[in-house]
């Protein structure tokens, strides 16, 4: 992996982790959501998490654009690099105190996916990848199943003992 791509992936993973820590301050506290114009919920945890992500990216990569779920686009619409953020994917689960929510951080280069991170703060789980360099689950390589027929699939909830795939 090129050093530049490795730096971008490591940075994306780190800021997703830190943003997750912000969400955990509000997790299972009874935080009440507001309703956005599109009728979806948003909480103070969503807003603070995105604020942190934006500040961290702007400080390190001031020429990059940022598109976030809560604050929209900042920076040039035709910037070479564009970060895409969802500070809490699964706000309804988050509000209900369920651990199935995530911080999503993606990076596009010329509108093509380059780096992606899914961090599940309440579960302390992260999956992250960079184009051409594989995918990792909590630091270990993982892969998508090669099975093409739905009826042949099986889910192994304890699959970490038998490998990091879900086929």
Residues 129, 155 within the same domain = no
Residues 37, 82 within the same domain = yes
In CATH, what number is assigned to the domain containing residue 41? 3.30.540.10
Q: Please check whether residue 88 lies inside any domain of the structure.
A: yes
How many residues in the chain?
Answer: 167
Residues 48, 103 within the same domain = yes
Q: Please check whether residue 138 lies inside any domain of the structure.
A: no
Average pLDDT for 6-13: 96
- CA dist 62 and 75 (Å) reads 9
Residues 128, 151 within the same domain = no
pLDDT tens track for 125-149: 999 999 988 899 999 998 777 777 7
Average pLDDT for 57-72: 96
**pLDDT-derived band of residue 46, with 50, 70 and 90 as boundaries?**
very high
Give residue 148's domain range: 143-167
CA 46-94-135 angle, 5° bins: 80
Residues 154, 127 within the same domain = no
- C-alpha dihedral, 16 to 156 to 151 to 148, nearest 10°: 50
Q: Please check whether residue 51 lies inside any domain of the structure.
A: yes
Model confidence at 109: pLDDT above 80: yes
Residues 125, 152 within the same domain = no
Residues 101, 148 within the same domain = no
Average pLDDT for 57-77: 96
The structural domain count of the chain equals 2
Residues 11, 90 within the same domain = yes
Residues 43, 110 within the same domain = yes
Q: How many CA atoms lie within 13 A of 125 on its CB side?
A: 12
Helix residue ranges, H only, the chain? 3-24, 44-60, 91-95
Residues 77, 155 within the same domain = no
**pLDDT-derived band of residue 13, with 50, 70 and 90 as boundaries?**
very high
Residues 46, 74 within the same domain = yes
């Amino acid at each position: 992996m090129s050093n530049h791509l490795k730096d971008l992936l490591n940075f994306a993973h780190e800021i997703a982790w830190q943003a997750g820590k912000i969400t955990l301050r509000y997790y299972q506290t009874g935080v009440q959501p507001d309703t956005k114009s599109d009728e979806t919920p948003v909480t103070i945890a969503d807003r603070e998490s995105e604020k942190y992500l934006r500040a961290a990216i702007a400080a390190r990569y001031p020429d990059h654009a940022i598109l976030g779920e809560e604050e929209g686009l900042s920076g040039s619409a035709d910037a070479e690099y564009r970060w895409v953020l969802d500070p809490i994917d699964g706000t309804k689960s988050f509000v209900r105190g369920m651990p199935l929510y995530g911080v999503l951080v993606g990076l596009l280069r010329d509108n093509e996916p380059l780096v992606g991170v899914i961090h599940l703060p309440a579960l302390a789980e992260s999956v992250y990848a960079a184009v051409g360099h594989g995918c990792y689950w909590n630091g270990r390589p993982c892969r998508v199943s090669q099975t093409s027929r739905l009826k042949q699939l099986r889910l192994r909830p304890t699959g970490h003992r038998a490998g990091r795939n879900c086929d």
